[in-house]
Amino acid sequence: MDISVIVPLFNEAESLPELQAWIKRVMDANGFTYEIIFVNDGSTDESWQVIQQLASTNPEVKGICFRRNYGKSPALYCGFERAEGDVVITMDADLQDSPDEIPELRRMIVEDGYDLVSGYKQKRYDPLSKTIPTKLFNATARAVSGIKNLHDFNCGLKAYRKDVIKNIEVYGEMHRYIPYLAKNAGFDKIGEKVVHHQARKYGKTKFGLDRFVNGYLDLMTLWFLSKFGQKPMHVFGLWGTLMFIIGFIAVVVVGANKLYALANGIPARLVTDSPYFYIALTMMILGTQLFVAGFLGDLISRNSEQRNSYQIREEI
């Protein structure tokens, strides 16, 4: 099969027939063999009934229906598991992503050799309250991930080589960072294509401003896991040891000053009256806790089933 199109959706009943017809028109015009996987993320409207109707008359249409709303990442994960096409396309169901982009996205994967191609909505039909935070978010994602050539990490329109989606795990709200996940898995040939962005035709957006806060937290989590996920002792143990040593030296200095004063008959206040004593003690306690946290993290990592899960490109 040439292409799998995965469409996660939530309450998009009105747009689904038009989207399916548009995808079919593009595929037939280019002679592609394909499948469309609609993932209904717990919609409360008639979305699932529409998908069932489309599947009954179009054998290339497949559907997955969640019992409740889990989010976009779980929807993509289930779609990735079931995709059979050599090239996998993801797009949103709100008709803001154009299926006319599919042939060129596929060409960049098949002929240009990209592992992943992300869409870039250079001209957007969104309000400033959405576009400005998006620009800041993407700038941070580029700096942290090291993928400098992507302008829009969160664009729903992407193309993947089949190997990519079978070797990454999308969970939580990590769908925003699939290029980063792919890079960490060894798929570093990542490209970008300027795509047409259309104004929403039906319904309303399902995402609020809280996604930017959650996005930054997820980015920090992903960065930490990529750097220290299998070696937590390297960060917790290092900082814990440094804090303990600094605290211990500070305690020694405070104690030495007290002994010097006593030896020379100089009046000196109690050690416990000095704020430096408590600061030093706190640093020693925190240092010990960090070291123990790193040690426990290392024990957990060593017993994980994924401690030796490395990506092999090919083998002879």
With a cut of 60, say whether residue 208 has pLDDT above it: no
> To which H or E segment does residue 290 belong?
helix 275-302
- Tell me which range, 69-83, 207-221, 247-261, is most confidently predicted by mean pLDDT: 69-83
Q: 272 versus 10: which is more confidently predicted?
A: 10
Q: Which two tokens stand for residue 197?
A: 């962005």
Angle at 72 between CA 66 and CA 73, to 5 degrees: 100
- Among candidate residues 123, 120, 181, 195, the one with its CA nearest the CA of residue 154: 120
Please write the tens of the pLDDT for every residue from 232-277. Answer: 787 888 889 999 999 999 888 888 888 888 778 778 778 778 888 8
Q: Using pLDDT thresholds of 50, 70 and 90, give the confidence band for residue 204.
A: low
- 84 bridge partner residues: none
Please write the tens of the pLDDT for every residue from 110-132. Answer: 999 999 999 998 776 666 666 67
Distance separating alpha carbons of residues 223 and 141, to the nearest angstrom = 10
Please write the tens of the pLDDT for every residue from 142-155. Answer: 888 889 889 888 88
Q: Whole-angstrom distance between the N-terminal and C-terminal Cα of the chain? A: 27
Q: Using pLDDT thresholds of 50, 70 and 90, give the confidence band for residue 7.
A: very high
CB atoms near residue 33 (< 10 Å): 12
- In this structure, are residues 271 and 255 in contact, taking their beta carbons and an 8 Å threshold? yes
Which pTM value belongs to this model? 0.74
